[in-house]
Amino acid sequence: MIGGRVLTFGLFVTFILITLAITVWARRNTRGADDFYAGGRAFSGVQNGLALAGDYMSAASFLGIAGIIALSGYDGFLYSIGFLVAWLLTLLLVELMRNAGRFTMADVLSYRARRQPKVRTAAAVSTVTVSVFYLVAQMVGAGALVSLLLGVSGTAAKVVTIAGVGVVMIFYVMFGGMKGTTWVQIIKAVLLMGGTVVLTVLVLARFGFNLSDMLGAAADASGRSGFLQPGQKFGREVAGDLVRTVVNKLDFISLALALVLGTAGLPHIVSRFFTVPDARAARTSVNWAIGLVGIFYLMTLALGFGATALVGQRAIVAQDPGGNTAALQLAHVVGKAVAGPLGGDVLLAFIGAVAFATILAVVSGLVLASSTSLAHDYFGHVLMLGRPRESQEVAVARFAAFLVGSLAIVLAVVARNLNVAFLVALAFAMAASANLPAIVLSLFWKRFNTSGVVAGVYGGLLGSLLLVIFSPVVSGKVDPVTGTSLSLLPAGIDFHVFPLENPGLVSIPFGFLCAVAGTLLSRERPDPRRFEELSVRSLTGAGSVGRRSK
């Protein structure tokens, strides 16, 4: 096993060295804000589609979803379905947003605003908050990953791992900008798809490529009769407790809403569409991303149920209570079955390196989205009144990357024992509550104004945050058997008053309500001319960046 750990460490170092070389190259070819924020808009639709898939297929997808399927069966696959269906809404909005904006979501929201500083400040606050929650999920995955692969355990090992990942991601963004980050994403997407295909084929081969046999073996190994039926994790019915049953079903609906509606509001997904030269390339990007993401999430079936059947739930929970290492343990088992102990070590090292690449690539995109918003929106348009020098703005973006990355490291250490897929669901709920209402109403409601944008963003963001704070996620959830805390805070601390673990069912309508109420209660008169200009621009691309107005 020592040889396997050396191989794993070697693959880690190799990937880091390659990506650092890309970062240095990107630094030499980054000459201004357009290069740093949008990669010079020089990426093709196919390239950006690969990068989009790389951004979306995160550590939470690869590690967290496989773990939830392995421990919860059918219900775990609902995460995969939700993430995939979300792209349908993204497909409807992506071209409109790409045409209407320049670098960030705030460019779209502020187009019709009479008081741009308020809108850009709100957008920057929301972007950083959502990105940091997503960042925490990826870095928690990093701690679980390296603990398994390098054979280290304990709090200190996870903390050191999280800090190391944070330092590397900060370097990527500060020096590589969007060019470096995009190429890292492309390489990561190719590695992740290749590694997942190899692992899926080997798992199915153990069952003669008979999916039914694999599912049956997983059900038998789980020891639960309803493992392949809904209700193991979401919407669970509690005999004799109607209130608890209703709450469980509402929690599932809330999670589904967050996953489906949150993607179009994720800042790092939105900003990636500004890296292509025109709207046609943006559509191509989405088409490629949908294809890759769809194939990937179908393969999570083999990863999750295969882990249950071949690794066993006890072994998975013993390594990581949240199940985040299930796919990695599966790689070792099937590799060992094919080529002995060495084969197990080699496949574990390869899949581990792919997962590590996944984490580094995704966290870099999230930090870049946050630093871009802070520099372009807050510094450039609020503090500098829209007249900053490009060199100043890029310098601020690099410093902001350091600050955001440092904050994410601290929070990831605190939340190191939570399941990463669930943390991502919280980030999706915030994106859907704070960003989506403002985006949709800016594009389609003629009367929408500055007050509506600000009220919608802050209302949705604060509403979702408060609901999470006063939910079982933070306090009050205890394992009925062991008595240990399943919340962020220790057992014995309980101040939760909101029964749902995901706030989307309440916070998303609340975000829309705040946006509408802010508009109707404001004395500000909308500008019909600006709405018409935005409509033409978003639908035709006339006047947008990268395309001349005819």
- What is the pLDDT averaged over residues 364-374? 89
Can you give the pLDDT at residue 55? 80
Residue 547 lies in a domain: no
Question: Can you give the CATH number for the domain in which 113 is found?
Answer: 1.20.1730.10
- Average pLDDT (189-204) is 92
Average pLDDT over every residue of 463-483: 85
Most trustworthy range by pLDDT among 13-27, 99-113, 396-410: 396-410
CA torsion, points 74, 76, 77, 82, in degrees to nearest 10?
Answer: 130
Q: How far apart are CA 71 and CA 321, in angstroms?
A: 10
Give the total number of structural domains in the chain.
Answer: 1
Asked if residue 302 belongs to a domain, the reply is: yes
d(CA 471, CA 406): 26
Within 311-435, residue ranges assigned H as helices are: 313-319, 326-372, 390-414, 420-430
- What is the mean predicted confidence (pLDDT) over 232-237? 77
Which pLDDT value is given to residue 419?
A: 54
Q: Is the pLDDT of residue 99 over 90?
A: no
d(CA 279, CA 282): 5
Query: What digits encode the pLDDT tens for the residues 510-539?
Result: 999 999 999 999 988 877 888 888 888 888
Looking at residue 188, its pLDDT comes to 87
Which range scores top for mean pLDDT: 36-40, 289-293, 524-528? 289-293
**Ramachandran angles phi, psi of 478, nearest 5°:** -130, 140
124-153 per-position pLDDT tens digit: 999 999 988 888 877 877 776 776 666 666
| DSSP class of 40 | G
Place of tokens 């062991």: 482
pLDDT value for 60: 66
CA angle 54, 186, 63 (to 5 degrees): 35
For residues 370-389, give the mean pLDDT.
Answer: 87
CA distance 156 to 162: 10
On the question of pLDDT at 203 being above 90, the answer is yes
Q: How far apart are CA 494 and CA 472, in angstroms?
A: 8
Which range has highest mean pLDDT (75-89, 299-313, 315-329, 334-348)?
299-313
pLDDT averaged over every residue in the chain:
84
The Cα–Cα gap between 138 and 51 comes to 17
Please check whether residue 546 lies inside any domain of the structure: no
The tally of CA atoms less than 13 A away on the side-chain side of residue 371 is 36
**Is 487 inside a domain boundary?**
yes
Q: Is the pLDDT of residue 500 over 80?
A: yes
What are the CB-based long-range contacts (under 8 Å, 24+) for 482-488?
Answer: 488/414, 488/415, 488/418
Cβ contact 17:168 at 8 Å:
no
Phi then psi dihedrals of residue 485, to 5 deg: -75, 135
Long-range CB contact pairs, 247-250, < 8 A, 24+: 247/499, 247/500, 250/500, 250/505
Q: Are 408 and 166 in contact, with CB atoms under 8 Å apart?
A: yes
Does 98 score more than 90 pLDDT? no
3-state secondary structure 205-242: HCCCCCHHHHHHHHHHHHCCCCCCCCCCCCCCCCCCCH
Q: Once rounded to an integer, what is the mean pLDDT over residues 160-167?
A: 84
Domain-embedded: residue 548: no
Judge whether 545 lies within some domain: no
Q: Judge whether 459 and 448 are in contact, CB under 8 Å.
A: no
Q: Give Cα 182 to chain centroid, integer Å.
A: 16
Given a contact cutoff of 8 angstroms between Cβ atoms, the answer to whether 132 and 371 are in contact is no
Asked if the model's pLDDT at residue 171 lies above 90, the reply is no
d(CA 510, CA 460): 6
Helix (H) or strand (E) holding 505: helix 504-521
Structure tokens at 307: 């882990």
Helices within 101-115 (DSSP H only): 105-109
> b/e for 194-212, b at 16 or more Cβ within 10 A?
ebbebbbebbbebbeeeee
For 315, list phi and psi in degrees, rounded to 5. -65, -35
Q: Which pLDDT does position 242 carry in this prediction? A: 85
Which DSSP state fits 264? G
Helix (H, G, I), strand (E, B) or coil at 495: coil
Angle (deg, nearest 10), helices 450-469 and 116-149? 30
Other beta carbons less than 10 A from residue 114's beta carbon: 15
Residues 355, 320: Cα–Cα separation, whole Å:
16
The count of other CB atoms within 10 Å of the CB of residue 18 is 13
Regarding predicted confidence, which is higher, 539 or 177? Answer: 177
Q: What is the pTM of this model?
A: 0.85
Check whether 550 has a pLDDT greater than 50: no
Q: Is pLDDT of 86 > 60?
A: yes
Q: Does 549 fall in a domain?
A: no
pLDDT of amino acid 420: 57
Q: Using pLDDT thresholds of 50, 70 and 90, give the confidence band for residue 549.
A: very low
**Domain residue limits at 20:** 2-540
pLDDT of residue 421: 54
Q: Check whether 545 has a pLDDT greater than 80.
A: no
| Nearest to 362, CA basis, from 139, 176, 152 | 139
pLDDT for 248 beyond 60: yes
Residue tagged 């973006």 (tokens)? 397
